[in-house]
Each structure stands twice: as C-alpha cells, then as structure tokens.
Amino acid sequence: MQDVKKYSEDELVHLLKNRDQSAFSYLYDNYSSVLYGVIYKMLENHELSEDVLQEAFIKIWNNFSNYDSDKGRLFTWMLNITRNLTIDTIRSKGYKKQSKIQNSENAVNNISDKANTAESFDALGIRKHLTLLKNDQKQIIDLAYFGGLTQEEISKTLDIPLGTVKTKMRTAIIELRKVLK
C-alpha cells in the first residue's frame, strides 16, 4: 500500500503553479466532494453537478496562475470559481428548460437527494459555523452560497439596500474566517 502524500497549502500552491499533475490529483481527491456538495445543493441534479464540477476543475487548472494567496485561501478561491460556474449554469436557457422537464418528472426523488446533500455539508462543518452568525448574516450567506443568488438579487429578495447586503456579507465572511482558522 502506498503512503498518501499530504501537502500544506503553501506546498500545494507552489506545485500547482509549476503545473504538477500529481498535486492536481491531490487537489481533486481532497476538494472535489466538498465542491460537488456546493454545486449539488444549488442544482439538485447529479449529472449536471458532475459536469459543472469537471468544468470547475478544468477552469481551476487552466487559471491557476491567477491565484493569489495574498487575497485569500486556496479553498475560497476554488469555491468562488465553482459557485460562479454553477450560477452561470442556473442562468443558462438550457438549464431552465431542462429543469422544468426534470421537475415534472422527478419531484418525488428530490426529497431523498436533499437529505444526502445536507450530510455532505455536515462533513465540511459549514452549517454548524453558520449558526454562530447573526440571523441576517446567516440569511445572506445562505442565499448567496447555497441559493446561488447574487448580491443584487439578495437585495431585491430581502428588500434591503445593496450596500447593506455587501457589508453584512463581508462581515459574515470575516467572522467565518476567524472561526475556521
């Protein structure tokens, strides 16, 4: 049995910037299930979630030279790429047509799928950390990261100014960073 190599974030970033494929395999093995959980929570479709996950990792690999560790952690950067691709998918015309068809065919199956998705988020521990936030911050994070809404859409949904949404989201993210460090 082979020893499983573990990398620190700095080592991993260095290897990925040098296009090391074994480091990319390590990245995929260690982050794909969590990113898949985020995608699936937004799309509620296994096949499409797998496609978006694959597209996200291709984008991560092709754009890794743009990653700047001074601006944030590797996981946060990958999460944002994944979330943005998922939102793009949701907004696409093809997705809207397909989701209408699938909703009419699979309404019953979604109940059990949602339970499995909740378990994947529990593995990350994000849900328990969200409980430490104020209710308005938690609501904004839920809408943005798990509901796929933009800040502008959150502003309209909650009927609050866009600046307030941005401030509360930033404050919530800072609080989550403190807890996760």
CATH 1.10.1740.10 given to domain 1-112: yes
Instruction: For residue 121, give the H/E element and its range.
Output: helix 110-124
- d(Cα 31, Cα 76) in Å, to the nearest integer? 11
Instruction: For residue 175, give the H/E element and its range.
Output: helix 162-180
Q: Per-residue pLDDT tens for 4-52?
A: 678 888 888 899 899 989 889 999 998 999 999 999 988 888 989 999 9
Give pLDDT, residue 53: 94
Amino acid (1-letter code) at residue 39: I
Q: Per-residue pLDDT tens for 106-120?
A: 544 444 444 444 444
CATH class for the region spanning 125-181: mainly alpha
- Closest among 51, 64, 55 to 24, alpha carbons compared: 64
- d(Cα 8, Cα 27) in Å, to the nearest integer? 11
The helix/strand/coil state of 148 is coil
Question: pTM of the full predicted structure?
Answer: 0.55
Write down the domain spans for the chain: 1-112, 125-181
